[in-house]
Structure 1
Amino acid sequence: MQMTVLPYIFVSLVGGIGKLKRSTASLIFSRAGVIMLLLWLLALVLVALMPLSFPFVETASFFSTSIIEPTAPIDYFKLYIPSNPFESMASGYVPAMVVFSIAMGLALIGMEGENKHHIVTVMHTFGEIFSKITQALVKVLPIGIFAMSASAAGTMGVDEFASMQVYLISYFALCLLLAFWILPWIIASFTPVTFAQALRISKSSVVTAFATGNIFIVIPVIVEECKQIMREHDSLSDDAETLIEILVPIAFTFPNIGKLTVILFVLFAGWFNGTPVELSAIPSLSVSGLLSLFGSVYVAIPFMLDLVHLPQDLFQLFVMSGFITGKFNSIAAVMNLFALTLLTVALFEKRLSLRPPQLIKMSLGVAGSVLITIVICRIGMGLFIHSPEITSGVIANMQVADKVPTLVKKQFPVVGQTPSSPIATIKMIRERGVLKVGYIPSNVPFSYYNNAGQLVGFDSAMASKLAEDLGVKVEFIPFDKDQLSAALKAGFFDVAMSGLAMDIAQMDKLSYTEPVLKLNLAIATKDHNVTSFKSAQSIMEMQNTTIAYVEHSDIIKEAKAFYPNLKFVQIDGYKNFFRQKGDKYDAVVISAEAGSAWSLFFPGYGIAILENKVQYPVAYAVAQDNQSLLNYINNWQKLRKVDGHQDRLYDYWMLGKGASEVKPRWSIIRDVLHWVE
């Protein structure tokens, strides 16, 4: 369905604009053009406001590598300026293509003679060819839509279907508000036509467009109804009648308000995906969306999703909902044509009313109606559309797959009080039959207790696998990080495996293995503060802000010098930040991987990746003189990296792959006929 869209945009704009007479073009672009721009602006503002009606949902997710991947900045020059029209078409830069097509059409207006006639004829012929291709493709379109809808319906969960209601309800409210309140009120405020008359003359066109989802078939009706109502008010000269006959078909080829409303889907997609479109990106999205909507919505939506870095897979949701949303945007489009035509004719006939009291009344009425609509939708959807299940249940029920005899101690050994043991080599560990592993409690997702009271986590799983490969049992002993070197020297445990950041200050007191992972430094803070921590400039402007940290003393030292406006406070563990009472700490320095895991327990918090992306290594630690164990773990770790075992644990504990059981949807074949398991 998309293969004819870009060529059709070109030929229809060039041919449609180029065939206009200079006087007609001047009239349309100087008068109707201004009114059209104002109506577009009104629609874009309302679309930008509608996400305020979306219910608040606390969401959190496992760490994703996509959040640390560099985001390519938008090249606005290529997006809007067709320096190479062929590149713009090949690369799908729809706005640049539209600009070029309009420029070519305007240039064609100024031409005379047979050459112009031939070009316009060719463009018209190509338009008919593309139209025939599209009509042929439409015959198989229902099959494609059915397949995409069936795929989406078969893979979406109940919670996702509930979320789709948010888009449908807000979209219906927006279209109905525009069609039956705002646009008729604008007509009544500026033209001789009353509010009731505006609704009356548009009734048959609106009903037909809603029933068929086709605006084109009601164009003759719109023309005749506009003529009739202007005659009733003695505002229809011969020139005005001609203007209506020309204006309605030409306006039909431009994006209407009904089409612009689909931009709301992109804003919904951001909410649905848990990454709302930032306020600063909305102007760019609106302008780019407007220009891309000169073509098909099926080209515009993927383009806009890509523009704001949202997954292209969400396009299937748009297709699935298009059958019903198309009917509602049709009624908004019809009323848009009525408003544009009547306002332009009133301006042409010098019957346009600009009385300040009427303008104030209309402005307050429109603003009040928008506010009431948003509040009612927000409250209503908040009451009846429930949030998905709390994600903490997923991470709190994760388990270590490798089952080896395990003993977990919760009592911290104390240097000088707890009896020490000799530092154990590999040979001594095998003879003893137990691998003693140090861990930090509540160090999500490396070592923490699940709902069953079991010690789990990435490093707990790695330790269990190490013990299994050694052929011994595993015993976990808790430790405080500031006592790590002393605890290893005292032989309380053989190796510390608990997301340890390699610390330069500790390197002369213990031995680190080769890095196990490279983690990404980030800031964890309340959801509403996340954006503020994404740029160095906004951090520099903060006042009375306290940043907590657990480790990374060398990085914090540099940060103190660079951000003298911030107060840095060291805390014992990350749980002290996330479980704090009040707002003692505004944010905490943490890895993005660990911060994402903590946000599953506390969905009110989010992660901000620093502008200057910083990575740091985590490793395991053994006593300084335990070269035998150090060599074994280094070689063992290399093996487990190569055979993919470590990657599987990373995918499970960090990325959450396989963490929650995906239950198959109810199926007649499986659940009734029992043909498959």
Structure 2
Amino acid sequence: MILAMFVGAGVGLFFGESVGWLSHIGTAVILLMQMTVLPFIIVSLIGGIGKLQQSTAMLIFSRAGAIMALLWAVGLVVIAFVPVSFPIFEAASFFSVSSIEPVQPIDYFKLYIPANPFESMADGYVPAMVVFSMAIGLALIGIDEQSKQPILSLMQTVGETFGRITQGLVKVLPIGIFAMSAAAAGTMGIDEFASMQVYLVSYFLMCLLLTFIILPWIVASLTPITFQQTLNISKSSLVTAFATGNIFIVIPVIVDECKQVMKSHHALTEDNATLIEILVPIAYTFPNIGKLTVILFVYFAGWFNGTPIELTDLASLSISGLLSLFGSVYVAIPFLLNLAHLPADLFQLFVMAGFITGKFGSITATMNLFVLTLLTACLFAKRLRAKPPQLLKLAIGTSLGIGLTLMTLKIGMGLFINPPETTSSVIANMQVADKVPTKVNRQRPILGETPTQPIASIQHIRERGLLRVGYIPSNVPFSYYNNAGKLVGFDTAMASKLANDLNVQVEFVPFRQGELAQALQAGYFDIAMSGLAMDIQQMDQLSYSDPILELNLAVATKDYLVNRFKRNDSIRQMENITIAYVEHDDRVENVKRTLPGIRFVKIGAYQQFFRQKDDKYDAVIISAEAGSAWTLFFPSYGVAILENNSRYPVAYAVAPNNQSLLNYINNWQKLRRVDGHQQKFYDYWMLGVGAKEEQPRWSIIRDVLHWVE
């Protein structure tokens, strides 16, 4: 399989994007591998638990179970800390429609309680199926041997059947690994490869930390067995597990080595020897810390996707991960990605890296079996020391190990892993496609000083051959100047299209937000096109067109404050916070009464907030679309979609008595919406579709051999 991975990567590098289609083959193989996993979990848990003697079950699920749970907790805590070391890159992206889609809340009752086991199985609720299977297994323990034997035999037969199917499918797994590796190497960008280093390096060091420091230190702190002894007895098993990636084959060695070390401390009684012989094989069937380490991939996937897992979700994700890992990682990881609302496609990255990370996970799993067995044996031999001095020693050693490892990771990745290319250059170089004769005025007309002009009807505009459009400077992404000094933006593009359809030239005239109605009535421009929120207070002074877009009300703020603005309850608890706003006066007045701890300040333009140097304002009310565009220029800011998902219309404005132009604009924009022009502009300026020229992925066949263009 490792060979298949490297050959696939080589094929991808050689042929480049032309082998991207191989990802479909990889997906098909993985789905086939998942086919038997959930049924296998059910029959193996029922059969494995059901065949236990009551005394053995009591032993395992009480004392050994408690130690196992404590080790799980240690592993989950370490895994949860590792993402702290991930490098922090100031990055931003265009607005995404997915950011406003309502997130389906997790139904924890369905997730953990199999009220309808068939529904739980059909919906892929692995934790619920684990609970269901364990309940049946525990119930079987109390049934006499003769009565339960047919069920146990059936479970064993079905389990062996699934095992044979899996063994057959494993033969085609290298094909899937080859296909996914080729597709990933052929299509993945350099930035994505660099990001994968974050996961691999973090995973390797985490496994080494758990295997060679934390787990042996637990034994040394709580038992007479020294740190060095723990490493010595596990050495051969760790080497074997790493070389083969197989824990099962080292079980006899673990049993023998644990007996030997207990004997050296005069703690190996006949009962203790029996306990070790029983415990190791049974513990092997349960999730171990080595298996739990794959949860780190979900945390990495959140970082990689730009949506890190929130602290409030860590506990539920850890518990769900633990229960889902009673089965295969091929079921657990897709389930956890879905639970965390992360793209399912990321699972292919996990599979591709799995045959490297799996070896490190194997050594952690092996050490976990050693530590669990030694702690349980010492507990039964009354050699377990869990008094304050030992616990303090354990806490200090573990904390130092975690702290030093995280510091090493943080510094190392900060030095050697480069941040992705900044996106400000993308939005700053965007262009308006329609090339019509254009004049852009940068000097704003002064009310009362600049001569007024007659209001122009649509016929007058055609006759003079000029459409005058009012715009707000620096109103990203509706009207702003790009790096070339040209006026661009969504509404600039729409205005150019309108002028092109009218077969006239276009002249852009700047205006202040608060002077719009007076400027229109003075005839300084014919129409205002610049992301104007429809304002109920101005409707008697000007005429709005039909809504052009419906934007999503949001708040732009510093990255570290974004999560606080996503929930209404946390907003209500804020104090000494100043929120700026440019428009939406009526909404702000309504909100002021319900948020007494927040100070609202009106500003003249959004750039006053983003360019502030004294942090006078903590946040600004803005549309999610515009806020996302601004963060491309200022990546230290983020956008929080408000919990109630408020939307508001934006429209164009004309003088109140210019009915002919208003009728034309309404009909024109309906036409351009239907024929797709407006959507095309929206995709480009709001979503960034096509904003960055995509270069073909580097490949040997094109860039070295020049066999293809």
TM-score, with structure 1 as normaliser = 0.99
- Matches for 1:18-57 after TM superposition, within 5 Å: 18-57=50-89
How far, CA to CA, are the matches of 1:53 and 1:508 in structure 2? Answer: 57
Counterpart position of 2:499: 467
Counterpart position of 1:91: 123
Counterpart position of 2:687: 655
Counterpart position of 1:667: 699
Q: Which runs of 5+ in 1 are unaligned?
A: none
How far, CA to CA, are the matches of 1:76 and 1:598 in structure 2? Answer: 38
Q: Which whole-Å deviations, capped at 9, do the CAs of 1:384-410 have from their partners, x for residues lacking one? A: 111111111111011111111111110
Q: Which whole-Å deviations, capped at 9, do the CAs of 1:114-168 have from their partners, x for residues lacking one? A: 2211111111111111111111111110111121122222222111111111111
How far, CA to CA, are the matches of 2:704 and 2:337 in structure 1? Answer: 39
Cα shift at 1:315: 1.1
Matched, 1:202 2:215: no
Counterpart position of 2:339: 307
- Matches for 1:551-562 after TM superposition, within 5 Å: 551-562=583-594
Kept in 1: contact 2:186–2:699 (CA 8 A): no
Matched, 1:230 2:262: yes
Counterpart position of 1:292: 324
Matched, 1:369 2:369: no
How far, CA to CA, are the matches of 1:19 and 1:69 in structure 2? Answer: 48
Kept in 1: contact 2:526–2:655 (CA 8 A): yes
Q: Which whole-Å deviations, capped at 9, do the CAs of 1:463-504 have from their partners, x for residues lacking one? A: 010011111111111011111111111111111000000011
The list of structure 1 runs, each at least 4 consecutive aligned residues, that deviate by more than 6 angstroms after superposition, is: none
How far, CA to CA, are the matches of 1:645 and 1:149 in structure 2? Answer: 39
Cα shift at 1:326: 0.5
Q: 1:390 aligns with which of 422, 443, 459?
A: 422
Kept in 1: contact 2:471–2:529 (CA 8 A): yes
Question: Aligned with 2:307: secondary structure?
Answer: coil
Cα shift at 1:434: 1.1
Counterpart position of 2:15: none
Q: 2:172 aligns with which of 121, 133, 140?
A: 140
- Matches for 1:119-518 after TM superposition, within 5 Å: 119-518=151-550
Letter in 1 for 2:472: I
How far, CA to CA, are the matches of 1:113 and 1:343 in structure 2? Answer: 31
How far, CA to CA, are the matches of 2:348 and 2:427 in structure 1? Answer: 29
- Matches for 1:597-676 after TM superposition, within 5 Å: 597-676=629-708
Cα shift at 1:655: 0.6
Letter in 1 for 2:173: L
How far, CA to CA, are the matches of 2:557 and 2:269 in structure 1? Answer: 65
How far, CA to CA, are the matches of 1:354 and 1:616 in structure 2? Answer: 62
Kept in 1: contact 2:554–2:641 (CA 8 A): yes
Kept in 2: contact 1:263–1:289 (CA 8 A): yes
Cα shift at 1:673: 4.4
Letter in 2 for 1:669: I
Cα shift at 1:508: 0.9
Kept in 2: contact 1:499–1:619 (CA 8 A): yes
Kept in 2: contact 1:5–1:295 (CA 8 A): yes
How far, CA to CA, are the matches of 1:188 and 1:672 in structure 2? Answer: 56
Q: 2:134 aligns with which of 99, 102, 105?
A: 102
Question: Aligned with 1:214: secondary structure?
Answer: coil
How far, CA to CA, are the matches of 1:165 and 1:626 in structure 2? Answer: 61
Kept in 2: contact 1:78–1:88 (CA 8 A): yes
Kept in 1: contact 2:436–2:496 (CA 8 A): yes
How far, CA to CA, are the matches of 2:672 and 2:708 in structure 1? Answer: 37
Counterpart position of 2:558: 526
Question: Aligned with 1:562: secondary structure?
Answer: coil
Counterpart position of 2:101: 69
Cα shift at 1:674: 3.8
Question: Aligned with 2:419: secondary structure?
Answer: coil
Deviates more, 1:572-581 or 1:180-189: 180-189
Q: Which whole-Å deviations, capped at 9, do the CAs of 1:192-216 have from their partners, x for residues lacking one? A: 3221111111111111111111111
Deviates more, 1:85-94 or 1:113-122: 113-122
Matched, 1:545 2:597: no
Cα shift at 1:353: 2.2
Kept in 2: contact 1:149–1:319 (CA 8 A): no
Q: Which whole-Å deviations, capped at 9, do the CAs of 1:306-334 have from their partners, x for residues lacking one? A: 11111111111111111111111110000
Letter in 1 for 2:152: V
Kept in 1: contact 2:467–2:507 (CA 8 A): yes
Letter in 2 for 1:166: V
Question: Aligned with 1:606: secondary structure?
Answer: strand
Question: Aligned with 2:82: secondary structure?
Answer: helix
Letter in 2 for 1:267: Y
Residue identity over aligned pairs, in percent, reads 72
Letter in 1 for 2:436: V
Cα shift at 1:236: 1.3
Letter in 2 for 1:168: L
Letter in 1 for 2:427: I
Counterpart position of 2:16: none
Cα shift at 1:362: 2.1
Question: Aligned with 2:478: secondary structure?
Answer: coil
Counterpart position of 1:595: 627
Cα shift at 1:668: 2.8
Letter in 1 for 2:208: L
Q: Which runs of 5+ in 2 are unaligned?
A: 1-32
Question: Aligned with 2:648: secondary structure?
Answer: strand
Counterpart position of 1:58: 90
Question: Aligned with 1:287: secondary structure?
Answer: helix
Q: 2:49 aligns with which of 14, 17, 24?
A: 17
Cα shift at 1:595: 0.4
How far, CA to CA, are the matches of 2:336 and 2:413 in structure 1? Answer: 26
How far, CA to CA, are the matches of 1:185 and 1:629 in structure 2? Answer: 80
Matched, 1:536 2:581: no
Q: Which whole-Å deviations, capped at 9, do the CAs of 1:29-78 have from their partners, x for residues lacking one? A: 11110000000000011111111111111111111111111111100000
How far, CA to CA, are the matches of 1:172 and 1:197 in structure 2? Answer: 23
Kept in 1: contact 2:45–2:133 (CA 8 A): yes
Kept in 1: contact 2:477–2:629 (CA 8 A): yes
Letter in 1 for 2:505: K
Kept in 1: contact 2:480–2:488 (CA 8 A): yes
How far, CA to CA, are the matches of 2:690 and 2:394 in structure 1? Answer: 55
